[in-house]
A and B are shown apart, each in its own frame.
Chain A
Amino acid sequence: AQSVTQLGSHVSVSEGALVLLRCNYSSSVPPYLFWYVQYPNQGLQLLLKYTTGATLVKGINGFEAEFKKSETSFHLTKPSAHMSDAAEYFCAVSGLSGNTPLVFGKGTRLSVIA
């Protein structure tokens, strides 16, 4: 069975500050890991994903995440927060087969303060 835990249901940062959203996963097989973003009243959009290879993954809008197998973590970061980054962020894990549905974390709402 696979699961993800997102630490912190709400994170607040100042504009220009570092964004760090935490995600830990549990998986009995090598995982595929994802971060999705949801803006108000919209569906989810893929930010980035880790499959194999380089453990530092770059995504859209300046976000990146690092896969750390030893820590079973996949934290999302952005060096400098922008007001437009305010949204809800979901970490998700999938197994090797495309028939295995994604399992999502409970989400972290990011607020950016001017």
Chain B
Amino acid sequence: NAGVTQTPKFQVLKTGQSMTLQCAQDMNHNSMYWYRQDPGMGLRLIYYSASEGTTDKGEVPNGYNVSRLNKREFSLRLESAAPSQTSVYFCASRASGRSPRGNEKLFFGSGTQLSVL
């Protein structure tokens, strides 16, 4: 039972390089999210997708793009990485189906530790 799978687990980039963080869930969830975690800042929402075919900006979207490839997959792209994007990135999902309920549990991946030099 894989749940939410993120790849890669670790990545080091040079300033200006691009990369895509991959996320896939096998729970048939409609909603998927990308958060970043920085010391003393908690988790901040970058982008989310409430359902397949839709994406919305979160609190800190600048410098990122997302693609909801299908119901399972939600990728996060850094087009030109900057040192300020050094962080731990978490993907999460929850059911939120035809009768969306805000009380549903979020399932998290194990995170991607990204360093931008």
Contact B31 A99 (CB under 8 A): yes
Which A residues are in CB contact (< 8 Å) with B103?
32, 49, 51, 94
Contact A100 B102 (CB under 8 A): yes
- Complex: A50 Cα to B90 Cα, angstroms: 23
Please tell me if B19 contacts chain A, counting CB pairs below 8 Å.
no
- From known contacts A43-B110, A43-B111, A44-B108, infer whether A98 and B43 are also in contact, taking CB-CB under 8 Å: no
Contact B95 A98 (CB under 8 A): yes
Interface size on A, residues (CB 8 A): 28
Interface size on B, residues (CB 8 A): 32
- From known contacts A43-B108, A43-B111, infer whether A101 and B42 are also in contact, taking CB-CB under 8 Å: no
Main secondary structure, interface of B, reads: loop
- Complex: A42 Cα to B37 Cα, angstroms: 12
Contact B40 A49 (CB under 8 A): no
Which B residues are in CB contact (< 8 Å) with A32?
102-103
Contact A104 B108 (CB under 8 A): no
- From known contacts A9-B40, A106-B41, infer whether A46 and B102 are also in contact, taking CB-CB under 8 Å: no
- From known contacts A99-B31, A99-B96, infer whether A44 and B90 are also in contact, taking CB-CB under 8 Å: yes
Residue ranges of A at the interface with B (Cβ–Cβ < 8 Å): 6, 9, 32, 34, 36, 41-46, 49, 51, 90, 94-107
Q: List 12 A-B contacts (CB under 8 A).
A: A32-B102, A41-B111, A43-B108, A44-B108, A49-B105, A94-B102, A95-B102, A96-B102, A101-B48, A104-B42, A104-B44, A106-B42
